[in-house]
Amino acid sequence: MNDAKTGSDFPNRIGYDEALAMIAAVAARRRLPVETVPLARAAGRVLAEDVVAGVALPPFDNAAMDGFALRAADAERARTQGLRLVGDQFAGADLALQVAAGECARITTGAPMPAGADAVLIRENARVDGERVFATEAGGLRPGRHLRRAGEDVQAGDRVLVAGTRLGPAQLGLAAAVGRHDLPLYRRPTVAVFTTGDELCPPGQPLAPGRIYDSNRALLQTLLQAEGLEPVAWPVLPDRPGPMLAALRDAAFSFDVVITCGGVSAGDRDHLPALLREHGEIHFWRVRMKPGMPLLFAGLGEALLLGLPGNPVSVLATFLGPGRALLDGLQGLATPRRRLFARLATPFAKAHARLEFLRGRLESGADAVVQVRPDPADGSHRLRGAADADCLLVLGEGARDYAAGDVVEVVPLRGF
Ligand SMILES: Nc1nc2c(c(=O)[nH]1)N[C@H]1C(S)=C(S)[C@@H](COP(=O)(O)OP(=O)(O)OC[C@H]3O[C@@H](n4cnc5c(N)ncnc54)[C@H](O)[C@@H]3O)O[C@H]1N2
Ligand code: MOO
């Protein structure tokens, strides 16, 4: 498609999935370098190499409960005659105790099982009389009772974490459990954030006629922080190509990713597409999505640039979809984010063929059906509706009348 302002020697008005695929392909070529990071600083980051267990988990047979280690075959004898207590094995150094027929050893949860013992009598079911231990309740004392076998969770040599995994609490706990104190991780992208437009006034200043407070800076900073990043926001860019290019080039020297918002559409002062066409490389401009259609993806110097449209809800939609796809790809995330679905609580008629993001609220009752109620007030300038929402809901490409109960994808806005 030809475009009067910029020509169109790049993909223009592409489908949403195509945009995500192009972002993923470019990001894969620009994957960030790997660095070794202590576990304490690894939360939320992406693993660059598989983790192979150097030890089994558990490393040795151990007690699952506090009580007495014994031979299950002695259960009846423990009830009638009692067993001879031969020692105490607490969690800690292995005392290499031996339990023979007619004997038992005091044991605590996590302590190594003495040789010969194959079950634990919990202390609630035992009575100690001097050096003898009686079972007050011996039912269920079979071999393996209250015992955790060496290697039942992980065998030494198992691949316990796969490269490309995002590391959360349980993954980092597992890495520590197999003895790792640091891990090879993809570096986090550094991100410069720009808001653009002569109408913008920083919150806290008096508002002159015709101006509005810059809300996208707070919005974008918070979205990026929720990804575990530490974005750097630059001063607001004026609607003039010279200063705009100078600032963007500066940022492109020292940041992996430059995110702008505004100035990317068709207005006479929307300079970004022309600037990037001349001084960078446009990967695509305009995506068949609503809101967010003017989205631009380009290379500038060493950086990748994502030009988000200025309307606040467009920022949300383009960041949570394409923006996160870029950050994930640069960090080598192998598995796509989990997709969530819900049933529409009310019908919705989509008036156009583009993929559409609506704001919505999730509800779930005793019937365990998760429903999403779309906010009927659309309009990508309406930030209040977004603040009242707890998700975006996604209506796919192709115009369609949705009925109540139809399944749609939802993108959580909080706790994501
Ligand atoms: N003739 C056409 N006009 C428009 C088109 C089009 O295709 N043809 N697209 C519309 C769509 S869709 C959108 S979205 C907007 C996006 O335009 P820009 O990305 O160039 O953004 P701006 O024009 O700079 O701003 C749009 C809107 O958002 C407000 N804004 C911008 N930055 C901030 C900020 N930091 N904080 C709060 N609000 C911000 C700005 O004042 C405008 O109201 O273009 C349509 N027009
Ligand atoms: O599609 Mo624009 O991003 O609605 O407001």
**1 assigned to some structural domain:** no
What is the domain extent for residue 349?
340-412
Which three-class secondary structure state does DSSP give residue 322? helix
**348 assigned to some structural domain:** yes
Last residue of a domain, one of 330, 364, 390: 330
The atom number, within ligand 2, closest to the CA of 309 reads 3
Closest residue by Cα to atom 2, ligand 1, is 266
Q: What is the mean pLDDT of residues 353-377?
A: 92
pLDDT of 5 strictly over 80: no
What is the b/e burial string over 18-54, where b = at least 16 CB atoms within 10 angstroms of the residue's CB?
ebbebbeebbeebebebeebeeeebeebbbbeebebe
- The residues pairing with 395 across neighbouring beta strands, listed in sequence order, are 356
Q: Which two tokens mark 163?
A: 């490269």
311 CA to middle of ligand 2, Å?
6
**242 and 259 housed in the same domain:** yes
For residue 307 and ligand 2, the question of a CB distance below 6 A is answered with no
We report the CATH number of the domain holding residue 304 as 3.40.980.10
Q: Find out whether 116 and 71 touch, Cβ atoms under 8 Å.
A: yes
Which three-class secondary structure state does DSSP give residue 271? coil
Neighbours of 240 (CB within 10 A): 11
**48 and 20 housed in the same domain:** no
We report the CATH number of the domain holding residue 348 as 2.40.340.10
pLDDT of res. 399: 80
198 CA to middle of ligand 1, Å?
12
Domain count, the chain: 4
Q: Find out whether 297 and 278 touch, Cβ atoms under 8 Å.
A: no
**213 and 346 housed in the same domain:** no
155 CA to middle of ligand 2, Å?
53
**235 and 294 housed in the same domain:** yes
| Residue whose tokens read 């790997």 | 34
**196 and 256 housed in the same domain:** yes
**335 assigned to some structural domain:** no
**49 and 177 housed in the same domain:** yes
Q: Which of 139, 136, 140, 109 is nearest to 125 (CA)?
A: 136
Q: pLDDT tens across 204-217, in order?
A: 999 999 999 999 99
**159 assigned to some structural domain:** no
**217 and 200 housed in the same domain:** yes
Q: Which of 25, 43, 31 is nearest to 257 (CA)?
A: 31
Q: pLDDT tens across 126-184, in order?
A: 999 999 999 999 888 999 999 999 999 999 999 999 999 999 999 999 999 999 999 99
**132 assigned to some structural domain:** yes
pLDDT of res. 7: 56
For residue 262 and ligand 1, the question of a CB distance below 6 A is answered with yes
Last residue of a domain, one of 301, 330, 359: 330
**373 and 244 housed in the same domain:** no
**350 assigned to some structural domain:** yes
Q: Find out whether 79 and 135 touch, Cβ atoms under 8 Å.
A: yes
pLDDT of 6 strictly over 70: no
pLDDT of 416 strictly over 50: no
DSSP code, position 391: E
**286 and 200 housed in the same domain:** yes
Helix (H) or strand (E) holding 371: strand 370-374
**389 and 266 housed in the same domain:** no
Which ligand places an atom closest to the C-alpha of 220?
Answer: 1
Q: How confident is the model at residue 375 (pLDDT cuts 50, 70, 90)?
A: very high
Q: Which of 274, 262, 273, 251 is nearest to 196 (CA)?
A: 262
Last residue of a domain, one of 306, 330, 354: 330
**286 and 372 housed in the same domain:** no
Q: What is the DSSP string of 294-362?
A: T-EEEEETTEEEEEE-SSHHHHHHHIIIIIHHHHHHHTT--SPPPPEEEEESS-EE--SSSEEEEEEEE
Q: Which amino acid is at 279?
A: H
Average pLDDT of the chain, as a whole number: 95
Q: Which two tokens mark 318?
A: 């383009």
| Residue whose tokens read 């003039």 | 240
**124 and 49 housed in the same domain:** no
Is the link from the previous residue into 189 a cis peptide, with omega within 30 of 0?
Answer: no
- Strand pairing report for 340-344 and 407-412: antiparallel
Q: pLDDT tens across 82-91, in order?
A: 999 999 999 9
Q: What is the mean pLDDT of residues 317-341?
A: 95
For residue 12 and ligand 1, the question of a CB distance below 6 A is answered with no
pLDDT of 70 strictly over 90: yes
Torsion angle (degrees, nearest 10) of CA 202, 206, 207, 208? -120
Q: Find out whether 150 and 112 touch, Cβ atoms under 8 Å.
A: no
Which three-class secondary structure state does DSSP give residue 328? helix
Burial of 200 (0-12, 13-18, 19+ CB in 10 A): buried
**294 assigned to some structural domain:** yes
We report the CATH number of the domain holding residue 50 as 3.90.105.10
Distance between CA atoms of 302 and 401, rounded to whole angstroms? Answer: 44
**156 assigned to some structural domain:** no
Please provide residue 344's backbone torsions phi and psi, each rounded to the nearest 5 degrees: -65, 130
